């Protein structure tokens, strides 16, 4: 993705146009679900540590640039959570990295499981 964004012909207006277009699209097709066996733990961790930034139902807080988490694939969420925890996702929100650092593997799986089961908008 970086080489595309580095293109000097890609203006801020063009990036804004692409963002508005993407925001207008419905969630496409069925999204990948987790096993559905860890929803309880995922829900309580989410309410305790994530809802203040990502919204009570994972809808995100657009004005604060906090992304929506519902309607995303289980596999994608789990991979990103691992990359955020390890610090490999370079642009991660620092407060969020602090929250996720002490999380065990099972905690990340349960969060991704819970979020992937929420109804997509």
Q: Which residues bind ligand HEC (CB under 6 A)?
A: 49-50, 52-54, 65-67, 69, 77, 80-81, 91-93, 95-96, 99-100, 111
Nearer to ligand HEC, 41 or 53 (CB): 53
Place of tokens 């929803």: 39
How many DSSP H helices and E strands does the chain contain?
Answer: 7, 0
Shortest distance, position 64 Cβ to ligand HEC, whole Å: 7
Nearest residue to 117 via CA among 60, 66, 47, 57:
57
Nearer to ligand HEC, 21 or 65 (CB): 65
Nearer to ligand HEC, 39 or 100 (CB): 100
Shortest distance, position 13 Cβ to ligand HEC, whole Å: 23
Nearer to ligand HEC, 8 or 46 (CB): 46
Shortest distance, position 17 Cβ to ligand HEC, whole Å: 20
Paired tokens of 73: 């694939």
Q: What are phi and psi of 61, to 5 degrees?
A: -130, 95
71, burial (CB in 10 Å: exposed 0-12, middle 13-18, buried 19+)? middle
């Amino acid at each position: 993705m970086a080489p595309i964004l580095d293109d000097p012909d890609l203006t801020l207006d063009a990036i804004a146009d692409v963002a508005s277009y993407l925001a207008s699209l419905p969630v496409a097709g069925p999204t990948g679900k987790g096993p559905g066996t860890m929803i309880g733990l995922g829900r309580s961790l989410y309410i305790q540590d994530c809802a203040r930034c990502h919204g009570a139902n994972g809808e995100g807080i657009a004005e604060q640039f906090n992304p929506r988490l519902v309607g995303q694939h289980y596999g994608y969420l789990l991979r990103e959570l691992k990359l955020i925890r390890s610090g490999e996702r370079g642009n991660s929100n620092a407060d969020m990295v602090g929250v996720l650092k002490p999380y065990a593997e099972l905690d990340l799986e349960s969060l991704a499981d819970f979020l992937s089961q929420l109804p997509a908008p």
